[in-house]
Amino acid sequence: MKCPKDSQYELCADTCSTTCASLTTPQKCSHCQEGCECVDGFAFDAGTCKPFGKCGCVADGRYYKSGEAVVREDCTENCTCVDGVFSCEQTQCTAEQVCDIRGGVRNCYQLDPCEAKKCREKERCVTNGTNVQCVAESKATCWVMGDPHYRSFDGKLFSFQGSCIYTLVQTTGLDDTLTPFSIETETKMENLHRGSYLKTATISIEGVKIVVVYQDPGTVVVDGSTFKLPLTLKSGKIRITQKSYQGFINTDFGVDIVFDWGEVLQVTVPSSYHNNLEGMCGTYNGDQADDFSMPDSTPLTDLTKWAEAWSLPESNSTCWHSCQGQCPVCTAEDEALYKQKDYCGEIGEKNGAFSACHAKVLPGKLLDDCLYNMCIHDGDQGMLCRVMTNYAKICQINSAEISKQWLKTLDC
């Protein structure tokens, strides 16, 4: 019998206790047999005899090369394979670590700091390794335009021509860790016009009262004093700027407001405020069905009663929330006329000037609003241009590129 290198023939060879594996887990054959046995200082491994120093180790069914380290026994031992035997020292995971097996390797792994961070319903946790914070998953937008037409945070579209001061949006106070804010809008009947329009918007944030006076561009009133833009308040927490005909109020907690000193106001909030808002912008809970909820959360179907509930009590003596006399209506003939392309029909044209905006600002309800305006103003050309201009502004505020062809088409 020819034996491999570093082994010798034995009539009664021990082939069990002279393997590399037996150095880690001692083994004993039940009986000897004729064969080859490694010489002293060597052990069998994969059919050859290796010096003990080149033997690996076996733990938990896994083979480790000589010199390779492994964490064992619920991370209480840090072991190194030396001469086929593990040499171990005591260890333990820190409070910021957890003992786990990942990718087949047991070790102390850093705890995910987000596991201990409690975020709000519509937030997610982010970390850069040292700082941990909750960030909003998305944003929602509410806007008011024209005489006036509304879009709630949940996307409900409606029109209401009351003349009063109304709570457009305010925090409910249920989550006192959110920065509170409120916005009140004043609408008044215009001279020579039927329908009411935005006159002021009062924004209360961080203990500051900012009033946007419509038809007074380039300025805002802060705590009773008039300022030209740009303006920074509360050490940079509130920034008020102007670009072209648009004014911007940006806050460090994510609430942003865009206005035009004309007939448009848009409020954007981060989803951190989900289910924590109320007012004429709705409940912001993902359900349009309860947007017409009273201050006590009672749902209503009567638009006039609902809006009246959100009017400021001190302004009610000079308010009206419904038509004074008989409400104007559109006849079938008028509706057919004003749906044509040279009137309101331009809004919904698939290849028209506003087509690029359709995905961001749905045209359906706005077309209805336009028809209503045309009816109560007897198809007035100036009013048509105002309606279209407001739609164009909402499109531009929402980053939709629109063609100016409508100006020529509608003679505006």
**For residue 208, what pLDDT is reported?**
96
Rounded CA separation 306/50 (Å): 88
Does the structure show a pLDDT above 70 at 138? yes
The bridge status of strand 165-171 relative to strand 97-102 is: unpaired
Q: Is residue 95 part of a domain?
A: no
Coil, helix or strand at residue 164: coil
Same domain, yes or no: 229 and 248: yes
pLDDT of residue 324: 57
60 within domain boundaries: no
Q: Which domain holds residue 284?
A: 123-323
Residue at 96 is within a domain:
no
C-alpha neighbours within 13 Å on the C-beta side of residue 406: 25
Strand partners, 184: 167, 202
* Confidence check: pLDDT of 85 > 90: no
What are 180-195's pLDDT values in tens digits? 999 999 988 765 556 6
Q: Among residues 308, 323, 338, which one ends one of the domains?
A: 323
Q: What is the pLDDT of residue 129?
A: 67
- For residues 144 and 162, what is the distance between their CA atoms, to the nearest angstrom? 13
Instruction: Give residue 146's pLDDT.
Output: 78
Q: Please tell me whether residues 202 and 269 are part of one structural domain.
A: yes
pLDDT > 90: percent of the chain? 39
What per-residue confidence (pLDDT) applies to 229? Answer: 95
Would you state the pLDDT for residue 190?
67
Mean local confidence (pLDDT), 77-81: 91
Whether the link from the prior residue into 313 is cis, omega within 30° of 0, is no
Please tell me which of 229-233, 259-263, 371-375 the model is most confident about, judged by mean pLDDT.
Answer: 229-233
The secondary structure of 58-100 as a DSSP string is EETTEEE-TT-EEEETTTTEEEEEETTEEEEEE----TTEEEE
Q: 178 is written with which tokens?
A: 């959110």
| Co-location of 216 and 310 in the same domain | yes
Q: What band does 232 get if pLDDT is binned at 50, 70 and 90?
A: very high
User: Is the same domain home to 160 and 226?
Assistant: yes
| pLDDT number for residue 191 | 55
3-state secondary structure of 396: helix
Quickly count: other Cβ atoms within 10 Å of residue 172's Cβ: 17
- Average pLDDT for residues 71-98, to the nearest whole number? 88
Residue 287, pLDDT score: 94
Q: Are residues 132 and 261 in the same domain?
A: yes
**Would the pTM count as exceeding 0.85?**
no
At 30, is the pLDDT very low, low, confident or very high (cuts 50, 70, 90)?
A: confident
Of 306, 323, 340, the position where a domain reaches its end is 323
Confidence of residue 170 (pLDDT cuts 50, 70, 90): very high
> Are 20 and 152 in the same domain?
no
pLDDT reported for residue 325: 55
148 and 238 part of one domain: yes
Same domain? 304 vs 335: no
Query: Average pLDDT in the 313-337 region?
Result: 73
Give the full edge-to-edge strand order of the sheet including 149-151.
Answer: 157-159, 149-151, 139-145, 264-270, 256-259, 246-251, 238-243, 231-233
Tens-digit pLDDT profile for residues 288-309: 999 999 999 999 989 989 999 9
Mean pLDDT of 11-40: 81
pLDDT of residue 218: 93
Q: Report if residue 97 sits inside a domain.
A: no
Average pLDDT (93-117) is: 87
Structure confidence at residue 380 (pLDDT): 85
27, pLDDT greater than 80: no
Average pLDDT, the chain: 87
Can you give the pLDDT at residue 172?
A: 96
33 forms beta bridges with 13
Q: How many domains would you assign to the chain? A: 3
Both 179 and 224 in one domain: the answer is yes
- Same domain for 281 and 140? yes
The larger pLDDT score, comparing residue 271 to residue 146, is at 271
- Mean of the pLDDT values across residues 243-250? 92
pLDDT tens digit string along 341-394? 888 888 888 888 888 888 888 787 778 888 888 887 888 888 888 888 888 888
In a domain, 64, yes or no: no
Query: Has residue 73 been placed in a domain?
Result: no
Using alpha carbons, select from 409, 150, 372, 396 the residue that is nearest to residue 258.
Answer: 396
- Domain holding 22: CATH number? 2.10.25.10
How far apart (Å, rounded) are the C-alpha atoms in residues 66 and 79?
11
Are 242 and 155 part of one and the same domain? yes
In a domain, 86, yes or no: no
Please indicate, yes or no, if residue 89 is contained in any of the structural domains. no
Final residue belonging to a domain, choices 299, 323, 347: 323
Asked if residue 230 and residue 367 are part of one domain, the reply reads no
